[in-house]
């Protein structure tokens, strides 16, 4: 899986090292960090593209992010696609947990799912919420889920 910075530059070290280096650098600069992880997808003809992001928020000082993309030709329902987005985010969050615990960094997992039943994505809300909360993570859905609905969304357009 190839991770990149927002500007498109490839990460030169393995993801865990880049995350740890970023945490150490930002902490040394006196920033309090929170990490938000989210995914989004978009269907383009027969191809579904997924983007997953790690957003580093500096308390009251902006932020930055790393992302990756994945494409598949597998057909899936809307609910399947929403759960796959959540699964990508949860897997990433789980892999970074030891590092975030080590540095006492807060973590949220964001789902690009609308809490309003009038929207199609709401079909996956209960499953996604159960999955994320069941793994012990803080859950955010639209409109609070900016990591997935804004940041990841920009990387699948």
What is the per-residue pLDDT across 53-110, written as a single tens digit (0 to 9) for each? Answer: 999 999 989 999 999 999 999 999 999 999 999 999 999 999 999 999 999 999 999 9
d(CA 151, CA 51): 9
Domain count, the chain: 1
Question: Which CATH number goes with the domain that contains 94?
Answer: 3.30.420
Alpha helices in the chain (DSSP H): 15-28, 78-102, 125-134, 146, 153-154
Tell me what the mean pLDDT of segment 30-36 comes to: 96
Q: What is the pTM of this model?
A: 0.93
Query: Residue 157 — pLDDT band, cuts 50, 70, 90?
Result: low
Domain residues for the domain of 12 are 4-154
Share of the chain above pLDDT 90, in %: 82
Residue 154 pLDDT: 81
- Confirm if 149 and 112 have CB atoms less than 8 A apart: yes
> What pLDDT was estimated at residue 1?
74
Query: What percentage of the chain exceeds 70 in pLDDT?
Result: 99
């Amino acid at each position: 899986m190839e991770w990149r910075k927002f500007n498109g530059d490839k990460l030169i070290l393995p993801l865990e090292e880049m995350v740890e280096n970023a945490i150490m650098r930002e902490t040394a600069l006196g920033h309090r960090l929170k990490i938000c992880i989210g995914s989004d997808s978009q269907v383009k003809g027969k191809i579904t593209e997924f983007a997953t992001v790690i957003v580093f928020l500096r308390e009251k000082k902006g932020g930055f992010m790393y992302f990756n993309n994945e494409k598949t030709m597998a057909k899936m329902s809307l609910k399947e696609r929403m759960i796959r987005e959540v699964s990508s985010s949860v897997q990433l969050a789980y892999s970074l947990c030891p590092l975030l615990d080590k540095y006492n960094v807060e973590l949220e997992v964001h789902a690009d799912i609308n809490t309003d039943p009038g929207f199609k994505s709401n079909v996956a809300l209960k499953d996604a919420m159960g999955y994320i909360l069941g793994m012990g993570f803080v859950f955010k859905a639209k409109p609070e889920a900016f990591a997935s609905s804004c940041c990841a969304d920009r990387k699948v357009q």
